Amino acid sequence: MSRSVRTSPEGSGPNLSEAYDTALLDLDGVVYAGGNAIAHAVDSLAAARDGGMRLAYVTNNALRTPDAVAAHLTELGIPTGGEDVITSAQAVARLIAEQLPSGARVLVIGGEGLRVALRERGLEPVESAEDDPAAVVQGFGGPELPWGRFAEACYAIARGVPWYASNTDLTIPGARGIAPGNGAAVEVVRIATGAEPQVAGKPLPPMHRETILRTGARRPLVVGDRLDTDIEGAFNGEVDSLLVLTGVTDGAQLLAAPPRHRPTYVDADLRGLLTGQPEVTGDAEGGFRCGGWTATSGAERLELDGEGAALDGLRALCAAAWTAGGERGCGLDSGKALARLGL
């Protein structure tokens, strides 16, 4: 992917599953939500895999171990081994192991995924600030994580112990809606201590490095639902990305995205892996065209004319918005145009 400012989604003649050797798939909001498979995910992934594409599942959720995640995916009808799952717990454990000696004690504020990843790197998980930890690591601990765990982190950090975080996603999608994520918990500790953690998860380089080391991907495609983690992570790693609209990102957020949050491709769901991507043509003066739609940017709002598939209209609107926004996010009103598309 070019580091120049993206002004339009790209087209692809071949199916994406043929154009890329490995799909680096986010989980929450892409493959499942609240533990249940998202519509079309199981069949689409099976078809991509049968066509020769490697599937790797890359998650900022540090709660579960790779084996537990793989077992869940297999239960959903997506055969997966633990080696196919890369978590932010693994990325942060490697980061810590590079800075501390083997056998160092690490205070864990989170779930079993962190403990397993630390042991894999020769580090010793501990539970209390009184256990003389050499570091604190914080990851998503689920809705039952006791408030007192944050206090343990604060006690250790106040003594000068370095603090690490698996990721800083403020929210996490679930079956009942959007819930607080690890980033919200990190903010609790940040406010109480005034400290800043070293962060490993998407969109930062340690997570992308962990993913490439574990998969050996040569031409990867990042597939995600979040602009500020999945898509920005692909941008930072200089690889292509596919945004699917099954998670937290809506049309208005996509159109207003700054350059680092603009995906290479946009599709409704994981069926987008099995198709080519239509080309957006035109320019700012004559309008941008995709399918039966033409999008232009006016003085105050984005305009959309024509008819056809809603996704084609959204792709044309992206070109108009991103061109108008340049190196910033587009501030033009997109409400009427998106309403025409039912988005």
Report the candidate in 118, 83, 89 with the shortest Cα–Cα distance to residue 201: 89
Catalytic residue among 28, 84, 228, 240: 28
Which tokens is 107 given?
């205070």
Which tokens is 244 given?
């699917």
> Residue 90 in contact with residue 60, Cβ under 8 Å?
no
Active site residue 26: yes
Report the candidate in 235, 108, 130 with the shortest Cα–Cα distance to residue 182: 108
Catalytic residue among 26, 228, 230, 312: 26
Please name the residue that has the structure tokens 């500790």: 189
Spatial distance between the Cα atoms of 6 and 14, rounded to a whole number of angstroms: 21
Active site residue 28: yes
Report the candidate in 66, 55, 63 with the shortest Cα–Cα distance to residue 215: 55
Give burial (CB, 10 Å; 0-12/13-18/19+) of 47.
middle
Report the candidate in 84, 17, 29 with the shortest Cα–Cα distance to residue 57: 84
Please name the residue that has the structure tokens 């769901």: 269
**Residue 203, preceding peptide bond in cis (omega within 30° of 0):** yes
H helices of 51-100, in order, are 66-75, 88-97
User: Could you give the residue numbers annotated as active site?
Assistant: 26, 28
